[in-house]
C-alpha cells in the first residue's frame, strides 16, 4: 500500500491526490494506473525509484517474531517496526529458497507451526523468494568471466530481484507459496541422511589435511578442494559436449546405414557440471571455459565473492573439528550439518547485496572468527542476531525518523 507521506500520484488534469485504493499495478512492472475521482478517468503513472534498505530475514529471526516469547517483548516491536518501514517503502524485506527449505524441513509433528511460519514469512517479505548460493555463484562467476563492465559489481538480478527500489503498488504476494513448500518437502532427503554425508566429508577433510598449524592452513586446504570440484565440473561439461557430438554422429551413421564407428563413453559424475552449464549458457563456451580453468590455477576464488565467504566459513569449521570439537551428536545438525550449511549459504549469498541480515547467535559468533571476519569486512552489511536485537531496533528506529 502507499503511504500518504510518499504518495506522488496526482491527477495530471486537476492536481487531485489519488487515494491509495485507486492506484493499481499495470501490466508493465514500472507503471501503475490511477483513477481520479474528480475527473472520473484512469491515468498511467511511471513508478518512481526510492533508495530502500535491503534486509534479509533468516528463519531463526522469523521464528522469533512469529512465535514471540511474550506480546510486549522486543521481537514484537521489531516486527511492527519492520512492517511500518515496509509500508513506508523504506526497506525491502527478503527471504530465500535457503530458508524456505529450512521451514519445509520442520518435522511433521509440528505441521501447524510449519504452515504458520511459511505463510508469515512470505506475507512479511516483499513478494519475492530470492535465489540460493549456487544461483549467485553462477551469476558472479559468469559476470567476471566475460569481464563485463558496469558501475554495480553486485546487481540485484544476481539474487533474483528485478528492481527492489522501485515503488511497489498494492499487495505483493509470493505466487509460488504452496508449490515451493511441496517441492522442498518432496525432494529433501531425510536430515539424518544428509547430516551423515556432511559428517563423513568433514571427518575425511580432518584426516586428509596435510598441515594444520592454524586456520589459514585449513583455508588453503578447503580452497584446493573447491578448485578441484569446479575443475572437475568443467572437465565433465566438456565431456558432455563431446558425447553430444558423438551421439549426433552415431545418429547420422544410423540413418545412412553406415556401420557404427564409436561407443558412447560414460559421463563423469561431477556435481558442478550443471552449474558450469548455467555459467556458460549463451557464451563462447570454449573461450570462457579456458579462461575459467586458467583463473582456477592462478587464484581459484578471486572471481567469486560468495565463494570466498563460504570457503572462509568452511575453513573455520574444519579448524574447530581438527582441534577436537565434537558436540553432542544431537547438535551436529546445528554445528556442522545441513542447518549450519544453510546459515553459511545465506550469509555467503546475501552479504554482498543487502544492508542488513539476521542470523542466530552461534552463527553470529562464527562470523567474528578470523578468516570469516576478514571476508565479511569487505562489505558494509550489518549482521544482527538475538544477542544484539537492541542494535537492530536502534537501526530500524533511525530509518523510521529518516526522510525517504
Average pLDDT on 250-260 reads 69
Model confidence pLDDT, tens digit, residues 286-335:
999 999 999 998 887 777 999 999 999 999 999 999 988 887 888 888 88
103 vs 377: CA distance, rounded Å: 29
Q: How much is the mean pLDDT over the chain?
A: 83
Beta carbons of 98 and 342 less than 8 angstroms apart = yes
3 vs 162: CA distance, rounded Å: 22
The burial of 127, by beta-carbon neighbours within 10 Å (0-12 exposed, 13-18 middle, 19 or more buried), is given as: middle
Place of cell 511492527: 80
325 closest CA partner among 369, 371, 373? 369
Q: What is the largest CA-CA distance in the chain?
A: 81
Q: Which sequence spans correspond to the domains of the chain? A: 1-47, 53-196+305-400, 212-298
pLDDT at res. 9:
75
Q: Return the bridge partners of 95, or none.
A: 129
Beta carbons of 177 and 122 less than 8 angstroms apart = yes
313 vs 340: CA distance, rounded Å: 10
Place of cell 598449524: 213
Average pLDDT on 57-68 reads 87
* Sheet containing strand 41-46, strands side by side: 23-25, 31-36, 41-46
CATH number belonging to the domain at 1-47, selected among 2.40.30, 2.20.25, 3.30.930, 2.30.29 = 2.20.25
Transcribe 192-255 into DSSP letters.
HHHHHHHHHHHHHHHHH-S--SSHHHHHHHHHHHHHHHHHHHHHHHHHHHHHHHHHHHHHHHHH
- The pLDDT of residue 153 is above 70: yes
Backbone angles phi, psi at 197, to 5 degrees: -65, -45
Using a cut of 0.75, tell me whether the model's pTM lies above it.
yes
Place of cell 598441515: 211
DSSP classification of residue 127: S
pLDDT at res. 106:
66
Transcribe 5-47 into DSSP letters.
TT---B-TTT-PBPPGGGEEE-SSTTEEEEEETTTTEEEEEEP
pLDDT at res. 178:
45
Pairwise pLDDT comparison (167 vs 39), residue with the higher score: 39
83 vs 121: CA distance, rounded Å: 12
Model confidence pLDDT, tens digit, residues 348-400:
999 999 999 999 999 999 999 999 999 999 999 999 999 999 999 999 999 99
SS3 state at 400: helix
Q: How confident is the model at residue 172 (pLDDT cuts 50, 70, 90)?
A: low
34 vs 28: CA distance, rounded Å: 14
- The pLDDT of residue 176 is above 60: no
pLDDT at res. 382:
97
Residue 222 to residues 2, 140, 189: CA-CA distances in angstroms? 49, 20, 25
Instruction: Give the DSSP H/E element, type plus range, for residue 348.
Output: helix 338-350
158 vs 271: CA distance, rounded Å: 21
25 CB contacts (<8 Å, ≥6 apart)?
32, 33, 169, 170
94 vs 86: CA distance, rounded Å: 11
Amino acid at each position: 500500500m502507499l503511504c500518504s507521506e510518499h504518495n506522488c500520484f496526482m491527477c495530471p488534469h486537476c492536481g487531485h491526490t489519488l487515494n491509495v485504493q485507486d492506484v493499481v499495478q499495470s501490466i508493465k512492472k514500472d507503471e501503475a494506473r490511477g483513477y481520479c475521482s474528480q475527473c472520473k478517468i484512469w491515468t498511467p503513472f511511471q513508478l518512481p525509484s526510492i533508495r530502500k534498505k535491503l534486509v534479509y530475514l533468516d528463519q531463526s529471526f522469523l521464528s522469533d517474531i512469529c512465535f514471540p516469547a511474550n506480546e510486549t517483548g522486543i521481537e514484537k516491536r521489531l516486527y511492527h517496526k519492520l512492517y511500518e518501514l515496509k509500508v513506508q517503502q523504506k526497506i525491502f524485506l527478503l527471504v530465500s529458497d535457503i530458508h524456505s527449505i529450512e521451514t519445509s524441513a520442520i518435522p511433521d509433528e509440528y505441521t501447524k507451526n510449519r504452515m504458520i511460519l511459511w505463510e508469515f514469512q512470505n506475507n512479511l517479505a516483499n513478494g519475492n523468494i530470492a535465489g540460493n548460493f549456487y544461483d549467485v555463484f553462477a551469476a558472479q562467476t559468469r559476470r567476471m568471466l566475460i569481464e563485463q563492465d558496469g558501475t554495480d559489481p553486485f546487481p540485484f538480478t544476481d539474487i533474483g530481484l528485478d528492481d527492489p527500489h522501485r515503488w511497489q503498488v498494492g499487495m505483493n504476494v509470493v505466487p509460488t507459496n504452496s508449490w515451493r513448500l511441496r517441492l522442498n518437502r518432496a525432494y529433501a532427503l531425510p536430515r539424518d541422511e544428509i547430516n551423515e554425508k556432511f559428517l563423513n566429508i568433514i571427518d575425511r577433510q580432518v584426516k586428509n589435511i596435510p598441515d594444520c598449524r592454524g586456520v589459514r592452513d585449513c583455508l588453503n586446504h578447503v580452497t584446493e578442494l573447491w578448485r578441484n570440484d569446479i575443475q572437475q565440473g568443467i572437465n565433465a561439461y566438456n565431456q558432455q559436449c563431446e558425447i553430444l557430438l558423438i551421439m549426433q554422429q552415431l545418429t547420422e551413421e544410423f540413418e545412412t546405414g553406415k556401420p557404427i564407428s564409436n561407443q558412447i563413453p560414460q559421463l563423469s559424475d561431477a556435481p558442478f557440471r550443471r552449474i558450469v552449464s548455467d555459467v556458460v549458457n549463451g557464451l563462447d563456451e570454449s573461450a570462457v571455459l579456458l579462461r575459467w580453468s586458467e583463473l582456477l590455477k592462478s587464484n581459484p576464488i578471486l572471481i567469486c565473492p560468495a565463494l570466498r565467504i563460504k570457503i572462509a566459513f568452511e575453513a573455520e569449521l574444519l579448524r574447530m573439528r581438527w582441534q577436537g570439537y565434537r558436540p553432542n551428536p544431537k547438535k551436529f545438525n546445528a554445528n556442522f550439518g545441513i542447518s549450519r550449511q544453510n546459515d553459511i549459504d545465506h550469509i555467503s549469498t546475501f552479504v554482498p547485496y543487502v544492508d542488513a541480515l539476521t542470523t542466530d547467535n552461534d552463527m553470529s559468533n562464527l562470523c567474528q572468527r578470523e578468516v570469516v571476519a576478514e571476508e565479511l569486512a569487505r562489505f558494509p552489511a550489518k549482521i544482527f542476531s538475538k544477542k544484539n536485537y537492541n542494535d537492530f531496533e536502534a537501526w530500524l528506529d533511525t530509518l523510521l525518523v529518516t526522510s525517504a
